[in-house]
Structure 1
Amino acid sequence: MAFGIKLKVWGDYACFTRPEMKVERVSYDVITPSAARGILEAIYWKPSITWRIDKIHVLKPIRFTNVRRNELEHKISVVNVKTAMKDPEYKLETFIEDERQQRAGLILKDVAYLIYAHFEITDKAGKDDPTDVKPEKHLEIFKRRAMAGQCFNQPYLGTREFSANFSLIEDKLPESELPQDQRNKDLGWMLYDIDFDHNMEARFFRAKMKDGVIDVPPYKEVFK
């Protein structure tokens, strides 16, 4: 935790989709570790570091709302993409008018979280730049970018249409508005992250919120 950070993220809406829901979009009660990692990577990431989520502090009441969203029925196939890469005259296209499907979604509204995280140096560090192995360098870059509101791409809260605001926290912690009856809750099995090294396998952990805080188990405990 010597090189850890605290980042507050918030937004009007969020949808951290439960993978067991095949058609309709149903959000978890709170942000998942993988979604939190994605926000940090949107602000600063290099192959030489990997972000690990330590804790998630829920700052606002957990509230759901129903929406209907237009989605595509099918994705463009990989075969068609490869064909277009080989043949410049091949038309790779899809039309929303022909593929539109309206699906219901149970999403979160008016959310705010405090993400506690740290990064680890990977085996790719220092190959092109000897100073790339210095954790202090990456920490300072992240802090500078977060304080200036800079990001490589717009962070989002589960899905890209729900953009996330963010602010680096270094001194006084933000106060939680979570009501007492929501502060201690067993959230059940939650998606931890995707194991990209083993056939994109989903890994889960038992999420329990105590006084509004979810302690995320170490990466090595989940990815054994």
Structure 2
Amino acid sequence: MGYGITLQVSGDYALFTRPEMKGERVSYDVMTPSAARGILEAILWKPAIKWIVDRITVLNRIDFESIRRNEVGSKIPPRNVTAAMGGAHVDLHQYPSEDRQQRASLVLRNVAYLIDAHFEMNPSKVGETDTPEKFYNMFLRRARQGQCFHNPYLGCREFAARFQLIDHTEQRLASHYADIEEMDLGWMLWDIEYGEERGKGKTMYSFQPKFYRTMMRNGVIEVSREVGL
């Protein structure tokens, strides 16, 4: 077990998109572990450490709201990027005015969570002067001062997250669901496992989504490192 921290995050809106919903975006009931890790990495990311989310406490009531947002309807094809990297003259711009689409989204409103997490050292990336104490104190200093590499967000970049470091001496806020013994929130995205293979002069990249059965007990979700799918 590495050095542990507790971070309180909140926001007016959040959207942790379910991957099975393609046409209109629908949020999970609560924050996903990968979204929680993204907030931690926004405050402190270093190749020598790896953040691991231990538990997520749902502080506020789960409340949904339907909104409509403008989005672009397409992405830049990867083959165009590959061609541009090879020296070809390819237009890599997107023109929102020509490709704008309005879509409905079912988002979470007035969210607040406690993230309990720790980091572990990445042996292949550790430098001579890298120590757990160094990165732990670095995170504490940045979190207390509100510093971050980029503004953390709750699922989508337009939904900014506020964060506050919770010291172990401080009293933790109680969950809205503290009196509910158990709630089954169904299958949820745990993380995405990335892979890299080299062969025949090319590098092939792959990714595999991992899911786990989310059980909230007294407002707390224990994030197991053993996933079901």
Please report the TM-score for the alignment, with normalisation by the length of structure 2: 0.89
Query: What is aligned with 2:164?
Result: 167
Amino acid at match of 1:50: K
Per the TM alignment, residue 184 of structure 1 is displaced from its structure 2 partner at its CA by: 3.2
- Match runs of 1:17-36 below 5 Å: 17-36=17-36
Amino acid at match of 2:224: P
1:23 alignment partner, SS class: coil
8 Å Cα contact 1:17-1:28 kept in structure 2: yes
Aligned alpha-carbon RMSD (Å) = 2.0
Q: Write the deviation string for residues 66-91 of structure 1: whole angstroms up to 9, x where unpaired.
A: 00111111101122223334448643
Amino acid at match of 2:137: E
Q: Write the deviation string for residues 20-77 of structure 1: whole angstroms up to 9, x where unpaired.
A: 1111100001000000000000100111110000000011111000001111111011
Rounded to whole Å, the distance in 2 between the matches of 1:2 and 1:51 is 9
Rounded to whole Å, the distance in 2 between the matches of 1:211 and 1:197 is 36
8 Å Cα contact 1:54-1:216 kept in structure 2: yes
1:61 alignment partner, SS class: coil
1:46 alignment partner, SS class: coil
Gaps of 5+ in 2: 197-205
Rounded to whole Å, the distance in 2 between the matches of 1:23 and 1:182 is 33
Return 50-59 or 71-80, whichever deviates more: 71-80
Gaps of 5+ in 1: none
Residue of structure 2 aligned with 1:201, choices 200, 204, 208: 208
Return 77-86 or 143-152, whichever deviates more: 77-86
8 Å Cα contact 1:11-1:112 kept in structure 2: yes
Rounded to whole Å, the distance in 1 between the matches of 2:21 and 2:37 is 22
Please report the TM-score for the alignment, with normalisation by the length of structure 1: 0.91
Aligned residues: 219
Per the TM alignment, residue 209 of structure 1 is displaced from its structure 2 partner at its CA by: 0.5
2:215 alignment partner, SS class: strand
CA distance 1:34–1:5, shift in 2 (3 Å): same
Residue of structure 2 aligned with 1:135, choices 122, 132, 137: 132
Matched, 1:210 2:217: yes
